[in-house]
Amino acid sequence: MMISEGDLDQLAEIELQKDEEEQEELGEGPAPPGGSSWQDISHPYYDVARHGILQVTGDDNYGRKLIIFSCCCLPPSHQLNHQRLLEYLKYTLDQYVESDYTVVYFHYGLRSTNKPSLRWLRDAYKEFDRKYKKNLKALYVVHPTNFLRVLWSVFKPLIRHDEKLRAAQKGGPPPPAKVPPPRPPLPTQQFGVSLQYIRDKNKGALIPPVMSQTVSYLKEKGLRTEGIFRRSARVQLIRDIQKLYNLGKPVDYEEYEDIHVPAVILKTFLRELPQPLLTFPLYERVQDIVRVETSLRVTKVKQMIESIPEHNYIVLKYLVCFLHMVSQESIINKMSPSNLACVFAVNLIWPGQGSVSLNALAPLNIFTEILIEHYHMVFSSRSPPGQVLP
């Protein structure tokens, strides 16, 4: 028997009222994980982020980024623009979806006063295309109720509660997987080795071959591609190309007929460096950029990057010069310095311990945006001998 959307809405409301009655009997319930407020008004989605609905809290036992959605942090519906919430969700996930990640959904705290409509939930799900789903390795639903079963009938079981969660609660976490000892890198290795290693193995080349090849190709073919650096590519294809580079074999991007492939390879190369291009010591100083008066930030950024090692500076200048060129075509490619910063910030710098928290994203993005937008001013004085520009 077919159930109309109106009937589903009514059924969902009945079940949600039952949930509320149970919650009231149990008390206030568990507190939201992490902080529930956001103090940085410069965040592009401050109006949504300040509620603490979404938290990026580090990695799970398998090294996958852990993203938490807490219903108890949802304000009453009249206080929250749900379209903005959807944009904020995508904005946050865009930082991580090219690698494996895990989502934990805390259902407790969803009430009739703060729940989005079923129509919004259905439309929102359609917005999350394969880009967001392909690397989602685990979805944990905590505190499931009959209301969720109604949702499952809407989404035709798109979500499956992971039984491992209950098993872990009873028997503790699963034993860590055995990892074989690391093998020494190949002489031709490009990914996962230091800039110095690549330079030593490539006759002193200042710019790593994978960077020079992808940048050259993208300069020629991709400057006017809409959404360049925002799109993803097949994970297995990227791994195959990485393997070719690591084995010292040629890579011809014309074969793949997809301009987004070299774009993803460039980001992947930066992300897999043992130490970020901007170096670990600079991380805390970058976080302080939001405390610097706006008119002084360009000068401050210039001073900060002049403190990094010469080789890092050369490679950074090469990369940012190219990104500045991309931004000059933003009317066509839709990649302004701000948009490019959202993509590249987490690939240029991260902390020595742990991972980038959601709170840290705003200063990282601001810093990177200044690098790109004010390229000529930031890199105006320090000119190491032998530097190479795109």
Report the pLDDT value the prediction gives residue 11, as an integer from 0 to 100: 55
> What's the pLDDT band for 2 if we cut at 50, 70, 90?
very low
pLDDT band at 74 (very low <50, low <70, confident <90, very high): confident
Q: Residue 51 has what pLDDT? A: 83
Could you read off the pLDDT of 342-361 as tens digits, one per residue?
899 989 999 888 777 777 88
Q: Is 184 among the domain residues?
A: no
In a shared domain, residues 39 and 140 = yes
Same domain, 263 and 355: yes
Q: Give percent above pLDDT 70 in the chain.
A: 75
Higher pLDDT, 240 or 37: 240
Whichever domain contains 160, its CATH number is 3.40.525.10
Chain mean pLDDT for the chain: 80
- Give the domain extent around 336: 195-378
Q: Which of 171, 204, 236 marks a domain boundary?
A: 171
Express each pLDDT in 195-234 by its tens digit. 999 999 999 999 999 999 999 999 999 999 999 998 888 8
Residue 217 included in any domain: yes
Separation between Cα atoms, residue 322 and residue 219, nearest integer Å: 8
Cβ neighbours of residue 274 under 8 Å, at least 6 residues apart?
A: 192, 193, 194
254/352 same-domain check: yes
Bridge partner list, 70: 106
Report pLDDT for 388: 47
43, 121: one domain: yes
- 223 and 145, same structural domain? no
Identify whether residues 365 and 316 lie together within a single domain: yes
Tell me: do 200 and 115 sit in the same domain: no
Residue 52 lies in a domain: yes
Q: Select from 17, 155, 36 the least CA-distant residue to 106.
A: 36
User: What residues pair up with 68 in beta bridges, in sequence order?
Assistant: 55, 104
pLDDT at residue 38 greater than cutoff 90: no
**Does residue 102 sit in the same domain as residue 241?**
no
The total number of structural domains that make up the chain: 2
Find the mean pLDDT for residues 235-240. 89
Is 233 inside any structural domain? yes
**Pairwise pLDDT comparison (318 vs 114), residue with the higher score:** 318
Co-location of 35 and 166 in the same domain: yes
Same domain flag for 111 and 204: no
- Tell me phi and psi for residue 141, to 5 degrees: -105, 115
The Cα 16–Cα 37 span in angstroms is 26
Instruction: Measure the CA–CA gap between 185 and 117, rounded to whole angstroms.
Output: 53
pLDDT tens profile 113-171: 778 877 777 777 777 777 787 788 888 877 666 666 556 555 544 444 334 444 454 45
d(CA 313, CA 319): 10
Quick check: is 9 in a domain? Answer: yes
| Residue 85 forms part of a structural domain | yes
Q: How confident is the model at residue 279 (pLDDT cuts 50, 70, 90)?
A: very high
Distance CA 360, CA 380 (A): 28
Q: Tell me, yes or no, whether 240 lies in a domain.
A: yes
State in Å, rounded, how far the first CA of the chain is from the last one. 64
Residue 49 shares a structural domain with residue 154 = yes
> Which pLDDT band, with edges at 50, 70 and 90, does 387 fall under?
very low
Q: What CATH number should be reported for the domain holding residue 348?
A: 1.10.555.10
Which one is predicted more confidently, 363 or 14?
363
The last residue of a domain, from among 171, 186, 217: 171
* pLDDT of 380 over the 70 cut: yes
160 and 263, same domain (yes or no):
no
Asked, for residue 71, whether it belongs to a domain, the answer is: yes
Contact of 348 with 323, CB cutoff 8 Å: no
Q: What is the pLDDT of residue 162?
A: 38
Map 179-190 to HEC letters: CCCCCCCCCCCC
pLDDT tens track for 176-189: 555 556 668 889 99
